[in-house]
Each structure stands twice: as structure tokens, then as C-alpha cells.
Amino acid sequence: MTTVTTDEANRTIARTFERPSFARHTAYLTLRQLRAAWRVPAFIVMNVVQPLIWLLLFGQLFESVVEIPGFEGGDSYLEFLTPGIVMMMALFGSAWAGTSYIQDMDRGVMDRFLTSPTSRGAMMVSTLLYQAVLTIVQSLIVLGVAWLMGARFDGGVTGILVMLLAAMLLTASFSALSNAAALLARNQNVLIGISQLITIPLMFLSSALMDTTLSAAWVADVAAFNPFEWAVAAGREALTTSPDWAGIAADLGLLAAFTALLGWVATRAFRAYQRSA
């Protein structure tokens, strides 16, 4: 029988309590990225300006769309458009999430992390949390501007919270995909190309800008399998007077499953990078 001395037991306990937890690592790494964003506020501003331009321009240019027979998006195009703009901002912002990994690789920071006791899971989760925080802040700005323009959302606070949840799930899923692409490609130009190849078709094959009942039938068929459309539909429905909660729950469930799948893919990509580093 193996005998454990008091000193050995004390050292084991000390190592256990000295080892930073996954939660603390995640918090430290998330704060690291938030501080970096705070030092360059122009980055956050640029991410918000373009969606606001779309909101202002499209909201005015296509305000008469609601009068087209067959339009099922309500009586206000601005109210119809706003959830789509929020999700577009979440999609495009998260598609660039992997650039932080590329920068860490180029600067040697990633290798230093890998040779330290830093939790590997925290390195992945912190980027998702960082993107989620940005999504919430930017979404609230878009909602505020839409409200100043006259949009009113009958879903109230509950509807807004559900829409933010859909946006965060969308952000987490595509941030994980972007991280995986960055870890495998290790090149920013390749990551940009992949992001544009994926995000642009997803945006147009959805109801973000236009009710799919007015589009070709095949667009609506494809949109039913589009994770971006799941987020748009859930957020828009949650803001209506009488939301279809069963439909919202179905869309959020699909988004959660999609997020879990891409999280697994990102984890596998991270392990592949570790083996080759």
C-alpha cells in the first residue's frame, strides 16, 4: 500500500489551489480582448457604422415594400428590417473573430499561451464571450437608433432579450467557425476569403432584408435550412405583439445545436493546431 506523507499531501493541495480555474482563465482572456478593443474604439465604431447605414438607407428606400401584396412582415418596414440588421451585424462581426487568433500566431503570443498553464478551453471560450459582449452592445445601439427613427416593438423587454439571445447564439456559432478556419488556414487573407464566401450568400438567402414570400420559391426553401435565417426569424417573431413561442423555441433550439456542432469543430481544429505547433 502506498503511503502518502503529510508534506506530499500538502504540496498536492497547494498545487490544486494555485492552478487557475477554467472560469478565471476565461475571465482574464476575455478582459484581455475587451481591453484591446477599448484601446482601439475605431474598430467598434466601424462595426456599428455600416449596419446603421443599412438601417437608415434601406429603412427609407424600401419603406413602401409593406404595400406590396403578399408582404407578411407587418405594417412597418423599419420594424421588419431592424432584427435583420442586428443579425447581419452579429454574423459579419463573428465571421472576423478568427483574426485575433491569426494576430496571436503572427506575434508568437499563441505559442506562449500553449507553453503556459493557460486553459485551452478558456482560450476558445473567451473569444466567443468577447464577441457576444460586442454583439450585445452593438445590438442595443442599433435598437436605440431604430427607436429614434420611429420603430416600436410590441414584444417589449422580453422580446428584446430573446432577440439578443438569438444574436449571441449566432455570434458564438460563427465565431467558432471563424476560429476553426483561422487555426487551420493560419492566414488572414484565406480567413477573409472564407468569411465572405459564407456570409454573403447566407445573408441574401434569408428574410433579413426582404420577406421570402416575395422571393423565388427556392429561396424560401433554402432559407429554412439557413442558421442565419433561424436567428432572424426568432428575433423578429419575439418582437411581435403575439409571438409564436413554439416557433421561436424551435429556431433557438436549432441555433443551439448548430453552435454546439461548430464548437466541437473549433475544438478539433485547436487540437490539430496544438499537435502541429
pLDDT band at 206 (very low <50, low <70, confident <90, very high): very high
Taking the model in full, what pTM does it have?
0.85
In this prediction, what percent of the chain has a pLDDT beyond 90?
Answer: 37
pLDDT band at 5 (very low <50, low <70, confident <90, very high): low
Lowest mean pLDDT among 4-13, 101-110, 231-240: 4-13
Residue 47: closest CA among 139, 161, 129: 139
pLDDT band at 30 (very low <50, low <70, confident <90, very high): confident
> Cβ–Cβ contacts within 10 Å for residue 4, how many?
8
pLDDT at 237: 95
Question: For 220-252, what is each residue's pLDDT tens digit?
Answer: 899 999 999 999 999 999 999 889 999 999 999
pLDDT at 80: 92
Question: For 38-49, what is each residue's pLDDT tens digit?
Answer: 777 777 777 788
Question: For 115-165, what is each residue's pLDDT tens digit?
Answer: 777 777 788 888 888 888 889 988 999 999 999 988 889 889 999 999 999
